[in-house]
Structure 1
Amino acid sequence: MPETVPPPPLPVVWRPKKGRLVAYGFAVVMVVGAIVLGVALPPPWGVSDRILIVMFGGMVAYILHLLGRCRVEATEQGIKLVNPLKIHRYEWPEVLDVTLIPGEPWAKIDFADGATIGAMGIQGSEHGLAERQVAELEALIRVKGEAPDR
């Protein structure tokens, strides 16, 4: 991890770059592919079959959107973790620490209520970017939260 990093100006949003590119890229491929397949199917296939194929492509694209929307937002009030299925909101005094262990898929944030939640918006596979994002979030936790100084 980098040494002391100054806290970034608020509000700030941390999100993965590669994960979003892959998720939304495949979503576009799925929708376009479903539309082309729906149009190109031979005559025994009916209109309802074609519509269902396009709807299936849309459903897969929506699932990929859920994966691509992951992020961590910090404001003056606190942080918001947007993961695929749930959004978590915490005020700064509730945030204790953030860790990114090498080899882990994403950062984990510890809270005063004993919860530890994965922050999928900070992807461990993006090594340099993830380290910078974790360092910035740690700096904000030191300034805004009630975590002890290290």
Structure 2
Amino acid sequence: MSDATADLPALPVTFRPGRTRAVLLTAAVVLFVTITAVALLLERLSPAERLSFVVTAALLDSVLLLLARPRIVADESGVTVVNLTRTRRLEWAEILRVNLRTGDPWVFLDLSDGTSLPALGIQPGIAKQRAIADAKALRALAEARSTAEPGT
């Protein structure tokens, strides 16, 4: 094994914004418990009104859970990018470049079809250094596993 491949993370590996996810999941639990408790403690509410509180809490939680969904899963055959509402499977050869430039909200993958795919699983928001390390690891994996000739 060469020095370049010795630094690569073991596959499969999942990249996700851990702190952001923890904040969102904690907020979802607190929000649901608080709104449900308020609905149960207000004595003048009818059962239908109490139910509407709980349903509203569930809808708000679904948005927070959706925001906590993004991840990037790299395995031997390629990468699965899970964003808010879409999932896309890519072969290693399809990824030409992994970009995380200053000011970018997340990683962008330059693809062989000429498009760029946002990959929300690596976000520098709360944990900037972790996002930079994850982007470098994904870039190293893409370069090591790509079948494209260097410089193309």
- Work out whether the TM-score is over 0.5: yes
2:144 maps to 143
From the superposition, tell whether residues 52 and 5 of structure 1 become closer, same or farther in structure 2 (CA, over 3 Å).
Answer: farther
Structure 1 gaps of 5+ residues are none
Question: Aligned-pair distance for 1:42?
Answer: 2.5
2:102 maps to 102
Asked if residue 85 in structure 1 is aligned to residue 85 in structure 2, the reply is yes
From the superposition, tell whether residues 112 and 21 of structure 1 become closer, same or farther in structure 2 (CA, over 3 Å).
Answer: same
Matching residue's letter, 1:93: A
- Could you give the per-residue CA deviations for residues 71-100 of structure 1, whole angstroms, max 9, x where no partner exists? 110011110111111111111111111110
1:16 maps to 17
Paired with 2:140 and 2:20, the residues of 1 have a C-alpha distance of: 25
Q: Which has the higher contact order (CA 8 A, sep 6+)?
A: 1
**TM-score, length-scaled by structure 1:** 0.90
Question: Aligned-pair distance for 1:6?
Answer: 2.2
SS of the residue 1:122 aligns to: coil
Paired with 2:49 and 2:69, the residues of 1 have a C-alpha distance of: 30
**TM-score, length-scaled by structure 2:** 0.89
Paired with 2:83 and 2:135, the residues of 1 have a C-alpha distance of: 17
Percent pairwise identity: 33
Paired with 1:27 and 1:94, the residues of 2 have a C-alpha distance of: 36
1:25 maps to 26
SS of the residue 1:89 aligns to: strand
Moved over 2 A (4+): 3-6, 146-150
Question: Aligned-pair distance for 1:109?
Answer: 0.7
Paired with 1:146 and 1:115, the residues of 2 have a C-alpha distance of: 18
Contact residue 5 and residue 139 of structure 1 kept, 8 A: no
What is the root-mean-square deviation of aligned Cα atoms in Å?
1.9
Number of positions where the alignment pairs a residue of Structure 1 with one of Structure 2: 147
Structure 2 gaps of 5+ residues are none
